[in-house]
Amino acid sequence: MTDHSALKEPGFRESVDLMFNRAVGLLDLSPGLEEKIRVCNATYTVRFGVRLRGGIRTFTGYRSVHSEHMEPVKGGIRFATTVNQNEVEALAALMTYKCALVETPFGGSKGGLCIDPREYEEHELEQITRRFAYELAKRDLIHPSQNVPAPDMGTGEREMSWIADQYRRMNTTDINANACVTGKPAHAGGIQGRVEATGRGVQYALHEFFRNPEDVALANLKGKLDGKRVVVQGLGNVGYHAAKFLNEEDGALVTGIIERDGALVSDKGLDVEAVHHWITAHGGVKGYADATYVENGLSVLEAECDILIPAAVEGVINLGNAARIKAPLIIEAANGPVTAGADDILRQKGVVIIPDMYANAGGVTVSYFEWVKNLSHIRFGRMQRRQEEARHQLIVDELERLSKDTGTGWTLSPGFKDKYLRGAGELELVRSGLDDTMRAAYQSMREVWHGRDDVTDLRVAAYVVAIQRIASSYRAKGL
Ligand code: NAD
């Protein structure tokens, strides 16, 4: 086996650029346009003080705007101690490519605050979040038509709702104020299905992959998701929902869960809901009874399984462990979990990687729906639901009349009437829109993957599709 340990691991930003370069080299773009698409337009760094616990604490935050070929720009806000400019810029670049790939009409952005949210009380976090939001909003880095944040690691509905409220206080006459941020709670301007959206998108991505037996065979797998062994890293928003849906709805076995303090493994499959409860109550996986605990959690990334789902942080599959990864299929639920060097090694081993910019695009897709809902000031389905039900009722009545009048005795199958008569509410429409997006984006990558001799993997295919779309958009502007 080749020893990769002596090779230098690129940073996250460099890794994204290396992957971009591999794809852009296959396209016929002018070097100037290539450069324009690759570079990050601007990164704003802010240091602000908040009076806490009898003293003043200074916090450092960032908001990076990678590309404004479409506006508003879009991207989450991360709360973590590891946040730095390089990371925020890499994540903003990925947002640009992701939005292009799934056809959400946004440029790419990302924000971060260097903080461990677990160290603060709720009211303290609110003060800090509001102050950060104030600093960004006053520079239009939070704005319904210019820059629309969303949740990411360490943030969720609660933080988004504070941000929206802060923006509203600063812009009391802006009728579209609610559209300044997505991922808000459903009762406060949010949309049904946003919390689960990224995990749901991972599930839909796998559904689409398994609908294509040729692609499944390339990963040395066969059949459907039922019974497939899944290892997931990070049981947070994305990992929890993905693992839960794959297990409960598709019959996959979650044989490993890796968290910060170690991992749980079980050949018979873990109860995702029970593990999630345990983590919420105890802060980690250690001590959970119905599984084997492994202290070196990272070693479980190398476990035998069918599908590996890194859903925590970037760079976890790297030059140090890539050669030992046994999963034939990796779906990148997190952003950047596989470094550029590891990507090379895994490709040579024949591992199929469903890339982050596609795999976790469910979040931004449903954020797009939320933003549209906020701008249109009406819940999806409100106008047509009952009308749709009334039309379906007409057909059911007619079928029943025909059966009676002709004496055939035909009856509708049990459950049909209930299902057919129910008009789609917001959640059904969100799921349908998300499913459609994930299917269409997969097919656009697949066309390039199988249609071009010089493209041998899904990541390059995804970049090719995204870069071509961004290039067309710049050209249309006359650049
Ligand atoms: P989260 O904060 O809800 O969950 C992260 C989970 O990972 C937590 O359970 C945490 O304990 C665990 N974790 C952190 N570091 C770890 C480590 N070193 N080893 C093992 N476990 C670790 O975050 P999230 O929103 O689920 O985001 C996870 C990833 O998905 C990030 O890369 C994020 O950028 C990406 N993502 C999130 C969204 C979204 O809508 N939330 C959308 C797209 C992409």
pLDDT tens, residue by residue, 340-380 = 999 999 999 999 999 999 999 999 999 999 999 999 999 99
Assigned token pair, 112: 């971060």
Quick check: 10 pLDDT over 80? Answer: yes
CA–centroid distance, 153 to ligand 1, in Å, is: 5
Alpha carbon distance 198, 91 (integer Å):
16
- Distance (Å, whole) CA 149 – CA 197: 16
Angle between helices 458-476 and 31-38 (to 10 degrees): 110
Under the banding of pLDDT at 50, 70 and 90, the label for residue 1 is very low
pLDDT tens, 385-395? 999 999 999 99
Nearest CA to ligand 1 atom 38: 152
Residue type for 433, please?
Answer: G
With pLDDT > 70 as the criterion, what percentage of the chain qualifies?
A: 99
> Which of 238, 317, 358, when mutated, tests ligand 1's pocket best, judged by the most ligand atoms within 8 Å of its CB?
238
3-class DSSP state for residue 60?
strand
Q: Which atom belonging to ligand 1 lies closest to the Cα atom of 240?
A: 26
pLDDT at 193 over 60: yes
Mean pLDDT, the chain, integer = 96
> pLDDT tens across 38-76, in order?
999 999 999 999 999 999 999 999 999 999 999 999 999
Instruction: Tell me if 393 sits within 8 A of 127, measured CB to CB.
Output: no
Active-site residue set:
110
C-alpha angle 226-229-233 in degrees, rounded to nearest 5: 125
pLDDT single digits (tens) 445-476: 999 999 999 999 999 999 999 999 999 999 99
Q: Region 138-156: what's the mean pLDDT?
A: 97
Task: Check residue 14 and give its pLDDT.
Answer: 95
Ligand 1 pocket, CB under 6 A: 151-154, 198, 233-239, 258-260, 311-313, 333-335, 360, 363
Element (H, E) at 424: none
- Confidence class for position 79, pLDDT limits 50, 70, 90: very high
Closest CA to 351 of 286, 302, 410: 302
> What pLDDT, on a 0 to 100 scale, did the predictor assign at position 2?
53
What six digits make up the tokens of 197? 């959206």
Residue 317 is classified by DSSP as B
For 212-238, the pLDDT digits (tens) are 999 999 999 999 999 999 999 999 999
443 vs 426: CA distance, rounded Å:
26
Probe target for ligand 1 pocket from 237, 314, 317, with the most ligand atoms within 8 Å of CB: 237
Contacting residues for 476 by C-beta, under 8 A, at least 6 apart: none
**Alpha carbon of 237 to ligand 1 centroid (Å):** 7
Judge whether residue 479 has pLDDT over 90: no
Mean pLDDT confidence for 250-273: 98
Q: Quote the CA–CA distance of 229 and 327 in Å, as a whole number.
A: 9
Q: What average pLDDT does the segment 393-418 reach?
A: 93
Q: How far is the CA of 55 from the centre of ligand 1 (A)?
A: 31
| Residue 316: per-residue pLDDT | 97
Confidence tier at 414 by pLDDT (50, 70, 90) = confident
Q: Give the model's pLDDT for residue 122.
A: 98
Question: 35: how many CB neighbours lie within 10 A of its CB?
Answer: 11
Name the percent of the chain lying above pLDDT 90.
96
The pLDDT tens digits for 269-314 are: 999 999 999 999 999 999 999 999 999 999 999 999 999 999 999 9
Q: How far apart are CA 210 and CA 205, in angstroms?
A: 9
pLDDT recorded at residue 49: 97
Ligand 1 centroid, distance to 110 Cα (angstroms): 15
